[in-house]
Structure 1
Amino acid sequence: MSRLASGVVLVTAQEASLDPDDPQAPHGEDVGMTATAFMSVSLDPPLVLVSLREGSRMDDLLDEQPRWAVSVLSESQRHIAGRFAMKGRVSDRLLFADIPCVRGEATGAPLVGGALATLECRTERRVPAGDHTLVIGRVLTATLPSPAAGPLAYFKGRYRQLD
């Protein structure tokens, strides 16, 4: 499968506050994950699919939180893809610290500035598939922050630019 080129996205969601009754408690934490298994499923209704490793933090979060977002990364955002793909990484709060983002109106999730496209989604269905979960989401909003930039691709285990 390393011979199949794919686009690269950052899937994001906002984890709920650990103590919603405490006004002093943090409002929740932004969570992000790089994904290369992402695709359009349907135009009517607008549906997309992302494949998540079963038991991963994002899989667990999207099992509880039905609203999430996707930023389709541009060729200049390789550092973002690498940062959120690291195993054993530091807290996501630190990973988001210097990335320009806006909050999605429909999800509250971070949307990466300079992305080729951003989508906000609501989970319609979760399908177990081997060691992954296929999450099908209905697109709630879609924007094109940087439509003229080139895409970031993943091929043979490396991030690449199209020539």
Structure 2
Amino acid sequence: MSRLAAGVVLVTAHEAQTDPQGPSGEDIGMTATSFMSVSLDPPLVLISLREGSRMDDLLDEQPLWAVSVLAENQSHIASRFAMKNRISDRLLFEDVPYERGETSGALLVHGALATLECRTEQVVRAGDHTLVIGRVLTAGAPGGETGPLTYFRGRYRQLG
């Protein structure tokens, strides 16, 4: 499958928690290349998550999440959130410009070619992955005319 070029997205969700000081929570993110449009009516998308990953566990509890379609100049963001065994997502977001989605509460990366806020509609277990189908609640195309970030043969690439 390394011979199939894929677009690169950052999937984010907000793990809301309540503590005595008031609402809090942690933002988590993961790089994905297994992302696709499923339907236009209703608007549905699909992401594939490694079973037992932090995002997989969170989306079992919390149905709202977001996707930022990364631009060709955002490979540093993709690399950062693709790291395994990281300690804290909070530190990974520290110098990434973003805004919080009004609908999902998840982070949307500035400069992304497109952003989507989604609500989980259906979950399908498939081998060692979980396929999450989400209804698109909001969509935007804030990025300029730059090209997409792609992944091909184990490396991030730009369309040329």
Superposed pair shares fold, TM > 0.5: yes
Give the TM-score normalised by structure 1: 0.96
Q: Does 1:37 align with 2:34?
A: yes
Corresponding residue of 1:72 = 69
Give the TM-score normalised by structure 2: 0.98
Cα distance in 2, alignment partners of residues 42 and 115 from structure 1:
22
Corresponding residue of 1:23 = 21
Q: What is the 5 A alignment of 1:1-163?
A: 1-17=1-17, 20-23=18-21, 27-163=24-160
Give the length in aligned residue pairs: 160
Q: Give the 3 Å change call, closer, same or farther, for CA 41–91 of structure 1 in structure 2.
A: same
Deviation at 1:93, TM superposition (A): 0.2
After superposition, the CA RMSD in angstroms is 1.0
Residue 65 of structure 1 aligns with an amino acid whose one-letter code is Q
Q: Give the 3 Å change call, closer, same or farther, for CA 93–21 of structure 1 in structure 2.
A: closer
Q: Which runs of 4+ in 1 moved over 6 A?
A: none
Q: Secondary structure at the match of 2:84?
A: coil
Cα distance in 1, alignment partners of residues 117 and 11 from structure 2:
10
Please list the CA deviations of residues 47-68 of structure 1 after superposition, one character each: whole Å capped at 9, or x if unmatched.
Answer: 0000000000000000101000
The unaligned stretches of length 5 or more in structure 2 are none
Please list the CA deviations of residues 63-111 of structure 1 after superposition, one character each: whole Å capped at 9, or x if unmatched.
Answer: 1010000000000000000000001123000000100000001001000
Q: Secondary structure at the match of 2:74?
A: helix
Which structure carries more strand by proportion? 2
Residue 28 of structure 1 aligns with an amino acid whose one-letter code is G
Please list the CA deviations of residues 112-147 of structure 1 after superposition, one character each: whole Å capped at 9, or x if unmatched.
Answer: 000000000000000000000000000000001114
Q: Percent identity?
A: 76
Deviation at 1:149, TM superposition (A): 1.3
